[in-house]
Structure 1
Amino acid sequence: MTDCVKTYFDAFNAGDTDAMLDCLTDDVAHHVNEGKIRTGKPAFAEFCAHMSRCYRENLTDMVIFSGAGGTRAAAEYMVNGTYLETDEGLPEARGQSYRLPAGSFFDIRDGKIARVTTYYNLADWMAQVK
């Protein structure tokens, strides 16, 4: 049941937040790296708007895994990005490029993503944008 995960990442790379939201349950739990859990599509949309303002990212080298039963999935990929606008508490943005490995984990319910958990090495990112 990784179709929704592939669709989600295709929408991410297209910069299509609405299509990403279509892949999620209304009560989606969004576990961000180094941050608080956000619950629900409105909180997820707000996060995406913030990210789009501060970062331009494209994911490559995508490998998607699915668990038995189709209720769990994971993905490993490379984040290729540009730091566009200074994000609060982070180094000043000057258009720096970065490239770092990342991964996401998913709970799938009724063909939609009910949980997204994303991990990357923040220290690696910080060193690249200094």
Structure 2
Amino acid sequence: MDTHALITRYYAAFNASDTEAMIACLSPDVAHHVNEGGVRIGTDAFRAFCAHMTRCYRETLTDIVVMTSRDGTRAAAEFTVNGTYLVTDEGLPEAKGQTYTLPAGGFFSVEDGKITRVVTYYNLADWMAQVSA
């Protein structure tokens, strides 16, 4: 499996709001490093995270650029998150349908054609400022 194609497929599934297609890209014991949060292990934890995110946020990624290591075991992506804050998330400002645009990135480990590690980064202070304005 081509790592660039795998990561591209993962983000296409994200943009289609297709959690199961995202999970099809993942190893069963994937380590999902949530921005400013803990590490969730396994596709069940990933599925639960996606359900929560879908309830609270509507997001589309644009300007996606995928970069891969020569051996295909690592990848990174840079993109723009275009979102709407739908339902108040615990410990965060009240949701009132605010929109936001954030630069973000993802880092991946890949083994045997599956993503074994997903790390997502964005600037939470920037997001807070945008939804609190």
Q: TM-score range by the shorter chain?
A: over 0.9
2-11 or 76-85: which moved more? Answer: 2-11
5 Å matches for 1:1-130?
1-130=3-132
Distance in 2 between residues matched to 1:110 and 1:6, nearest whole Å: 17
1:123 Cα deviation from its structure 2 partner: 0.1
Structure 1 segments of 4+ aligned residues over 4 angstroms from their partners: none
Unaligned runs of 5+ in 2: none
Shift of 1:2: 1.5
TM superposition shift of 1:34: 0.7
Could you list the runs of 5+ residues in structure 1 that have no partner in the other structure?
Answer: none
Query: Distance between the aligned counterparts of 1:35 and 1:65, measured in 2?
Result: 24
Alpha-carbon distance in 2 for matches of 1:2, 1:85: 34
